[in-house]
Amino acid sequence: MEKNIFEINKITCFVYANKNPEYFLIQPVNEPHAQMLDGQIRFMTEHTEKSFLVAAFLVKDWNQDLSPWCAPAVFGKESFGEGAGETLAFIEKMLIPEIMRRYKLEEDIKDIPVILGGYSLAGLFALWSTYQEKSTVKFAAAAGISPSVWFPGWLEYMKTKQIQTKKVYLSLGDREEKTRNAVMRHVGSNIREMDSWYGNNEKIECVLEWNEGNHFRDVDVRCGKGFLWCMGENICKINNCKTI
């Protein structure tokens, strides 16, 4: 597995690539998650024989760059912006073309499933991105790993839009909904409702996995399992996971 770090439009990118990748995985990360990427990739390579390329990129302003619309702060004083559209445009217009060029995928990209996934607010961003009908990228799957689906207005949004992918991975730590925060405690009920909603759509394949612990436990492994499922691996054989 080859690892390279470089900038695209002044955004730091971390790329892990097998030769002749069968899957093209895209993942927005913050600084702490970037430090866990080596562990995530190691976990993935230990549990699949499939070849893949992961292009992770460092998000400069987490609450601004990944939020689909403005929302008040739910912890601390930092509110949420509406920069998700610009981040998706970066993926479509800059990240994907540059990775295609650098790794000589121009002739093969149409045959490689593109999967978008992320953790926490990046997980919400990944899910939101699959609802954008005008997107030039048709994602083969989306991984919302401990996603911020407590986000104000999210459930209403997803129920009034048409999702553009056929595979959705959802996961949550079994202690994440046991928070005192009045807004964030809805994450458990909201993700169950999402799973039920997708389950009633025969065109969507969805799994909801429950992991042990709070929001900050085993981030690298959780991300690895999410992407592996999107690549067609049976995650329940990997870690005795609980799914519903």
Query: Which CATH number is 52's domain given?
Result: 3.40.50.1820
Structural domain count of the chain: 1
Q: Rounded CA gap, 74 and 84, in Å?
A: 18
**What mean pLDDT, rounded, does the chain reach?**
92
Q: Rounded CA gap, 145 and 26, in Å?
A: 13
SS3 sequence of 122-176: HHHHHHHHCCCCCCCCCCCEEEEECCCCCCCCHHHHHHHCCCCCCEEEEEEECCC
pLDDT digits (tens, 9 = 90+) for 5-51: 999 999 999 999 999 999 999 999 999 999 999 999 999 999 999 99
Q: Rounded CA gap, 151 and 185, in Å?
A: 11
Rounded average pLDDT over 83-111: 89
Q: How confident is the model at residue 236 (pLDDT cuts 50, 70, 90)?
A: low
Checking phi first, is residue 224 left (phi over 0); if not, alpha (psi -120 to 50) or beta? alpha
> Does position 111 have pLDDT exceeding 90, yes or no?
no
Whether pTM > 0.85 for this model: the answer is yes
CB 54 within 8 A of CB 226: no
In this prediction, residue 237 carries a pLDDT of 55
Rounded average pLDDT over 115-134: 97
> Does position 216 have pLDDT exceeding 90, yes or no?
no
Which domain does 98 fall in, by range?
A: 2-243
Q: How confident is the model at residue 239 (pLDDT cuts 50, 70, 90)?
A: low
pLDDT digits (tens, 9 = 90+) for 194-206: 999 999 988 999 9
